[in-house]
Amino acid sequence: MTSIELPYAKRTLANGLDVLVHEDRHVPIVAVNLWYHVGSKNEQPGRTGFAHLFEHLMFEGSEHHNTGYFAPLQQAGALLNASTNTDRTNYWEVVPTGALDLALWMESDRMGYLLPALTRERFETQRDVVLNERRQHYENRPYGFAMMALTSALFPPDHPYHWPTIGAAEDIRAMDVEDVQAFFRTYYHPGNASLALAGDIGAERAYELAEKYFGEIPGGTRPDTMDVPASLSREQRIMLEDRVELPRIYMAWHSPAMFAEGDAEADLLADLLANGKTSRLYRTLVYDRRVALDVSAFQHSRELGSFFLLASTATPGRSLTEIAAIIDQEIRGVVDDGPLDDEMERGAAQAEAHFMYRLQTVGGFGGKSDQLNAYNVFRGDPDFFAADLARYRGATRESVRAAARTCLAFDRRVLLSVVPRGQAALALPGSEPVSVT
């Protein structure tokens, strides 16, 4: 069996900043990848959208570079981006080796000196940008409210996963610059951050540069870890009317948290059920019976607790009730008999390929620097790459069957029907209408 590893070195600065280094001299570039262990789960009901707002504010300028961040880095030949989810926020640049000092200086300036440049005008401008993004990506997109409806049903109102990462529109409008400043002071500091450098750089030089640019920034208190369980005691059927042409069904269940026992099996289960043209549900729903245009499944692995999602869009004239019955039949087949040997082999091969793809680049989303930060932040162990892959290699027919039996219970799930406006009768029987704003 091929050994796949991700070599690294690690040092923690006096202010608490973890510095991870992966040396790769093949190309004269360095990936700078900075994670803050803060996401929408660190917000409060009625005060949501802060973490995502900072994804925007952090590019607008800091005390010693009080203008946009894209232009100087792109002029130096860099690629850069950022993202926010429920559990973390990351910022990254991939730069020619000669531009590494510039990237580190700019990252350190917005970590240590963002607030002096955060004017009320700048805050209000970016708040409006976020509201417009919300309209484009959720409010005006077909099926755009589906995930909001699902997470609202899966998690109670006080649970950190109840609201979307982008935040509720009314909360975004109600934000004030003082609230935003307080959120920054709590979470965006060296003690709650992890810096990974991967590429054309050695460990000692990396530590020297990290100390030079970040060492003077005061460390803060690392926020306490959370343990907020969630569960369903019954099946919930809900319905959204939307500006869509065809009805779509979503099924969602609580599933094991990221890296917990059964998480990898749930991932493999999603693949064998609905990902790819050889999957069970694609063959049955789309190819053989032609009752659905598409079908997909995904294990949404999250830090506090995950959810397993299935979705399928009906072909014209076919019903969601028919699709749901076929999906349930296939789920029963996996629960009763487990996956076939060839399904396990295909799933293991796909998983291994995904791990290999992550090693093809030093930077960007999912590259080697991103992987080191993910393992360091969520596991406290950057050296988890091989162990992570071993979770998939160690899965068996019985362990995947057990995951199906444990996770995909028909009496503990949310069934969401998204139907064209004015056609509520196309929803699954017994569906209660819900409103998402």
CATH number at residue 95: 3.30.830.10
**Cβ proximity of 377 and 191 under 8 Å:** no
Q: What pLDDT does residue 80 have?
A: 97
Pair 269, 120 in one domain: no
User: Is residue 230 in a domain?
Assistant: no
Domain count of the fold of the chain: 2
Q: Which amino acid is at 427?
A: A
pLDDT band at 3 (very low <50, low <70, confident <90, very high): confident
Q: Is residue 383 within 8 Å of 8, Cβ to Cβ?
A: yes
Instruction: Assess whether 277 and 381 both reside in one domain.
Output: yes
Specify the pLDDT at position 341. Answer: 95
Q: What is the mean pLDDT of the segment spanning 266-293?
A: 96
Residue 394 has pLDDT above 70, yes or no: yes
139 and 36 in one domain?
yes
Distance of CA 308 to the CA centre of its chain: 14
**pLDDT mean over 303-323:** 98
Alpha-carbon span 283 to 287, nearest angstrom? 5
3-class DSSP state for residue 420?
strand
pLDDT, tens only, 21-66? 999 999 999 999 999 999 999 999 999 999 999 999 999 999 999 9
**Does residue 98 fall inside a structural domain?**
yes
Same domain, 78 and 201: yes
Q: In b/e form, how buried is each residue of 45-84, taking b as 16+ CB within 10 angstroms?
A: eeebbbbbbbbbbbbbbbeebeeebeeebeeeebebebeb
For 4-112, where are the E strands, in sequence order? 9-12, 18-23, 29-36, 79-84, 89-96
pLDDT at residue number 132: 96
Confidence of residue 219 (pLDDT cuts 50, 70, 90): very high
Name the domain boundary from 214, 245, 279.
214
Confidence check: pLDDT of 2 > 70: no
Residue 201, phi then psi, degrees to nearest 5:
-160, 145
55 and 137 both lie in a single domain: yes
Tell me the C-alpha distance between 298 and 307, whole Å.
8
In a domain, 297, yes or no: yes
Residues 169 and 274 in one domain: no
Query: Which single residue is written with the structure tokens 């990902």?
Result: 275
**Residue ranges making up the domain that contains 43:** 9-214
Q: Is residue 394 part of a domain?
A: yes
Q: What is the CA radius of gyration of the chain?
A: 23
Contact 97, 30 (CB under 8 A): yes
Average pLDDT over residues 403-428: 97
Q: Is the pLDDT of residue 118 over 90?
A: yes
Same domain for 169 and 199?
Answer: yes
**3-class SS at 310?**
strand
Same-domain pairing of 91 and 174: yes
Q: Do 414 and 279 meet the contact criterion of CB atoms below 8 Å apart?
A: no
d(CA 215, CA 13): 7
Question: Residue 119 above 70 pLDDT?
Answer: yes
pLDDT above 80 (res 1): no
Q: Of the residues 160, 179, 214, which one is the last residue of a structural domain?
A: 214
Measured distance CA(192)–CA(38) in Å, rounded: 8
Instruction: Name which of 200, 269, 257 is nearest 225 in CA terms.
Output: 257
Q: pLDDT tier at 211 (50, 70, 90 boundaries)?
A: very high
**4 three-state secondary structure:** coil
Which residue from 138, 132, 170, 140 is spatially nearest to 151, judged by alpha carbons?
138
Kindly state whether residue 4 falls inside one of the protein's structural domains: no
Q: Based on the domain organization, do 203 and 249 belong to the same domain?
A: no
CB burial string 284-313: b at 16+ within 10 A, e below = bbbeeeebbeebbbbbbbbbbbbbbbbbbb
Same domain, 67 and 104: yes
Of 214, 249, 280, the position where a domain reaches its end is 214
Coil, strand or helix at 183: helix
- 254 and 207 share one domain: no
Share of the chain above pLDDT 90, in %: 96
φ, ψ of residue 357 to 5 degrees: the values are -60, -35
Could you tell me if 297 and 330 lie in one domain? yes
The backbone torsions φ and ψ at residue 433, rounded to the nearest 5 degrees and listed phi first, read: -65, 140
Q: Is residue 325 part of a domain?
A: yes
DSSP per-residue codes, 144-165: TTHHHHHHHHHS-TTSTTSS-T
Q: Quick one: tokens of 87? A: 């559990």
Q: What is the pLDDT of residue 71?
A: 96
Is residue 223 situated within a structural domain?
no
Averaged pLDDT of the chain: 96
On whether residue 277 sits in a domain, the answer given is: yes
Please provide the DSSP assignment of 96-124 as one string.
EGGGHHHHHHHHHHHHHHSGGG--HHHHH
